[in-house]
Structure formats: C-alpha cells, structure tokens
Amino acid sequence: MRLFAALFAAFLVSAAIVSSVHAVDKATKPNILFIAIDDQNDWIGCLDGHPQIQTPNIDRLAERGTVFLNAHCQSPLCNPSRTSLMTGKRPDNTGIYGLAPWFRDVPELQDLVTLPQYLRQNGYQTASAGKIYHGGYGRKKKDDEFEILGPPAGVGVRPKKKLVQTPNPHPLVDWGVFPHSDEDKGDWKVASWGVDQLEKKDLQEPFFLSVGFFLPHVPCYATQKWFDLYPDDDTVLPPIVMNDRADTPRFSWYLHWKLPETRLQFLREADEWRNLVRSYLACTSFVDSQVGRVLDALEASGQADNTIVVLWSDHGWHLGEKEITGKNTLWDRSTRVPLIFAGPGVTAGQRCNRPAELLDIYPTLVDLCNLPPLEQLDGHSLRPQLEDATAEREWPAITTHNANNHGLRTERWRYIEYADGSRELYDMEADLNEFTSLADKPEYAGVIANLRRQLPPTSKLPAPGSAHRILTIDEIGNVIWEGKQIGPHDPIPEID
C-alpha cells in the first residue's frame, strides 16, 4: 500500500512537471504576424526599387529586423506562388502552375500539412483575413486552415465604369483616381480587422495572425492624396530600352501569350503609361499605410517583443519593363519580392544579399518557433541569415512558371531556361535591368553549365484540373497555351 502511494505521488509530481513545462512552452512560443501584399514588386523604400517610392511603415519594419534584398517567389502567379509558400513545396513538385486548382482538390496533395495547420498542431491559434491563399481558397470550413476568419480580400469601392478602356476589357485591368474614401477600400477593412484582433486581445497566445492585402493588384485605384505623393511627369517611369526583347527567345512570349494585362505598346499609344505607374505607386503607399496601422496596433498591444513579424509579396509586377505589364515572367521584375522578418531571433537593421525564396518562410518559422522540422518542406531555414546577414547560403533562388520553365537567381547571375531549351543569362552586377542577355556568348558557357546543374531535374505536368495561364509542350514539340496550339509563326499579340 505504501509502495502504491509512493508511486502515485511520484506520478502526480511528474505529471505536474510535464504540465508545467508544456504551459511554459506554450506561453513562451513567439506569436506570428504574417503580412502579405499582392503583386508587390521591389518598389519599396528599403529595397531601392524605385527612387521616389514612399513606404515609411514597411521601411521602419525593415529597420527593426532583416530585409532580404535578393528574395524571389517560386512562381510569378498568385495561386502557385501562395500554394508553394503555404505548403513548403515547389511548383515543379506539385504541378500547381495556374490559377486553378485548389491543391486540396488534387488527390496526391490532400495530405500536405500547411503552415497554419502545422502551427495549429503545435498549439497556435490561427486567424486570417484578406488574401493569403489565392481568391477564396482556404476560407471554407472544410479547408481546415484557420480557426478564425475575417473579411475576404476585395477591391472595395469601384467607379461605375472602367476608367481606362484596355484592348482586353477585363474588369480588373484598370487604374486611376476617382472620388472615394480610403475607409471604403477592401484593404482598409482587412487592416481594421487585424487591428481589432490585436486591440481586443481575444487571440490566445501563441497566435498566428495573417493579414493579406489586395493592392497594388489591379485595379489600381487610389484617392488623390496618394497620387499627390508622386510627380505627374516622366521622372516616375522605370528605365527601359527600346526593343528590349530583341535578344530574348520567342518562347519568353509564350509565358504570357494572351493575357489581359496590357503591353507597353498600348500604354504609349493611349498615353496611359505614366498614369498606370503613378497609380501603382499610389496604391503601394496606401497599402504601406495599412501595414502601418497593423504594426501600430501590435506595438500598442504590448505583444511586439514576443511576436515574429514576416512581410512578403507573392510575386513582382512589370510596369513597362520588357515591353509588358503584369507578372508571368522569369525576370527579376516579376520574381523579386519584399521579404522582411522582425522580432525575436532576428537581428535588427540588417540588409541581406543572399538569395532567398518565399519557400523558405515555412521552415524559417518552424525553426524560429523551435518546432520539430518537417520532411515535406523543400525550402531551407533563413535563421542563419536572420542572425547574421553575411552567413553563407549554398542555395540559389528558383522560380518556375509552368513545367520546365525556370529562372535561377544567385547574387550575381540571373539564368533562365525555357521548356524548349532556349536560354537567357544576365550579369546582375553589371546589368541590373537585364537589358543584355549573355546566353549566346561563348565565354559564358562555363557559367551557364554551372548554373544549369542547380536547376530542378524534372517538372511535374500540370495537376489535374489546372486552368488559366497554363502552358505545355506536347510530345512532338507543339506549344499549347490554355488548350490552344500556338503556331511557330503566329503573331505575338499586340506586338506583330
């Protein structure tokens, strides 16, 4: 009897210790504030992407953390980029390349554990508003991604009719200023929801609070005060050279063959180039103000010291460079994105030039939160660079847009290889704007050979149900764009 009592007492003590340890672990795990921006290229102050851009709130976040100056998306399109980030898998390993499908509808991908799911499994409360996955993906109860859902992403207030009549009359491809209120915009409402969560302190710690902003995705509508930040003259325009595509393969056009986003040719003929650029700049500054509202609420909540903040964009955006607007390319303008970490475990005031990938966010947060690693993750933790920005990194950044089209970025080189074997090579130290491809110069054959060895060996075919912006090559070399064959002499839309 005494032995039983002694054993029982020991059990109670042991249980109390275990319970106490778990309670301490849960209480000391850092919170996560996860801020996404849609279609945001490197026109951010701390990235030096545009000389006139004003983003004081994102810049102050960078000052108290580490900003990656050479960070790139895994796909230059919303759904595959966000799927890759949230699942930790490369597009060429999932076959998710287009705006559809939702990866959970693909049988072989249904068991992937996403970032919010893994955090929930490890004691985090997960909450989300705005655009985190593409469109409405991840927001249904059956998706089992987030415990708390705020307002979805949306444009908000719109003019009665389009402000700009574009060649392809897509309702989203529009821009400009018209009388409306900032408070009526979808991103204002998303930020307000995020502020409410932090002010009410209803979230259980540790929490994963994700806030996804829609702008500067088209339509780029902003109120006059944001336009007034930027001069109404050509100093706002990005640098270009005429006929910049002359030394690029025809295959580069196939990645965005017939898209609603306008070509530079139209913008010039319609005298809309400056208006679009100012609209994008204005929307970027507006979104920056909403980021600031959420960051201010975090500071006021008293939780900032125990909260990791990560800010990212799903891909970049062209505004006339390479003769186009939009994304869907493998050049820096389409792949380079803001990526900033701040908070516990992150050295403040750092600017890191090492290649980084959005794919690395998942394993980095797992590492910073001291959670067990996952075998499914294709990315690598950025913790060494968050501690010391000069720490070595052996991996390049790789972007894939449809099967076997890859862009590879190191600190010096941008190498692109298309599915038909055509190539481009740029020395990013000497030619930051990628004006001159070196791929055909014999003296760079060794550089290309070394870079090629770092590309994915194979790409999966598009997943069942893939749709929108899907490009494939059949077994005899025919190029198929969204189900229709492109002939070798078909005129390039709006160019020839």
Q: Which of 78, 220, 283, 352 is catalytic?
A: 78
DSSP 472: E
Task: Please name the residue that has the structure tokens 């969560």.
Answer: 197
Instruction: Extract the tokens encoding 323.
Output: 């003769």
Q: Given a cut of 60, is residue 13 above it in pLDDT?
A: no
CB 376 within 8 A of CB 114: no
E-strand spans in 247-389? Answer: 307-313, 318-319, 325-326, 339-342, 350-352, 356-357
Q: What share of the chain is helix, strand, coil (3-state, %, to 5)?
A: 35, 20, 45
DSSP for 132-179, written as a single string: SSSTTTT-SGGG---SEE-PPP--BS--SS-SS--SS--TT--EEE-S
Q: Given a cut of 70, is residue 274 above it in pLDDT?
A: yes
How confident is the model over 398-419, as a mean pLDDT?
98
Q: Which of 319, 316, 147 is nearest to 236 (CA)?
A: 319
Q: Which of 30, 32, 31, 38 is nearest to 312 (CA)?
A: 38
- The b/e string for 431-468 (b: 16+ C-beta within 10 A; e otherwise) is eebbeebbbeeeebeebbeebeeebbeebbebbeebee
Question: Tell me, what's the pLDDT at 27?
Answer: 52
**Rg (alpha carbons) of the chain, rounded to whole number:** 23
User: What does the pLDDT look like over 201-214, one tens digit per residue?
Assistant: 889 999 999 999 99
Q: Which of 482, 190, 469 is nearest to 326 (CA)?
A: 469
Residue 104, C-beta contacts closer than 8 angstroms, at least 6 positions apart: 110, 143
Cβ atoms < 10 Å from Cβ of 273: 22
Q: What is the pTM of this model?
A: 0.94
What is the band of 16 on the pLDDT scale with cuts at 50, 70, 90?
very low
Q: Given a cut of 50, is residue 243 above it in pLDDT?
A: yes
Instruction: Extract the tokens encoding 87.
Output: 């699942």
Instruction: Extract the tokens encoding 472.
Output: 């494939």
User: What does the pLDDT look like over 47-62, one tens digit per residue?
Assistant: 999 999 999 999 999 9
The angle formed by the CA atoms of residues 480, 172 and 163, to the nearest 5 degrees, is 130
* β-sheet with 423-427: strand ranges across: 397-400, 406-409, 413-417, 423-427
Q: Given a cut of 50, is residue 20 above it in pLDDT?
A: no
CB 80 within 8 A of CB 365: no
CA 390 from chain centre, in angstroms, equals: 23
352 a catalytic residue: no
How confident is the model over 196-203, as a mean pLDDT?
92
Element (H, E) at 413: strand 413-417
Question: Tell me, what's the pLDDT at 496?
Answer: 57
Q: Which of 46, 50, 72, 134 is catalytic?
A: 134
What is the band of 15 on the pLDDT scale with cuts at 50, 70, 90?
very low
Measured in degrees and rounded to the nearest 5, phi and psi for residue 363 equal -65, -25
Mean pLDDT across the chain: 94
Percent of the chain with pLDDT over 70: 94
User: What does the pLDDT look like over 220-241, one tens digit per residue?
Assistant: 999 999 999 999 999 999 999 9
46 a catalytic residue: no
Cβ atoms < 10 Å from Cβ of 478: 12
Q: Given a cut of 50, is residue 1 above it in pLDDT?
A: no
User: What does the pLDDT look like over 108-126, one tens digit per residue?
Assistant: 999 999 999 999 999 999 9
Question: Tell me, what's the pLDDT at 475?
Answer: 87
Residue 141, C-beta contacts closer than 8 angstroms, at least 6 positions apart: none
Instruction: Compute CA distances 302 → 60, 196, 369, whole Å.
Output: 18, 14, 19
Q: Given a cut of 90, is residue 332 above it in pLDDT?
A: yes
What is the band of 28 on the pLDDT scale with cuts at 50, 70, 90?
confident
What is the band of 433 on the pLDDT scale with cuts at 50, 70, 90?
very high
Domains, the chain:
29-396 (3.40.720.10)
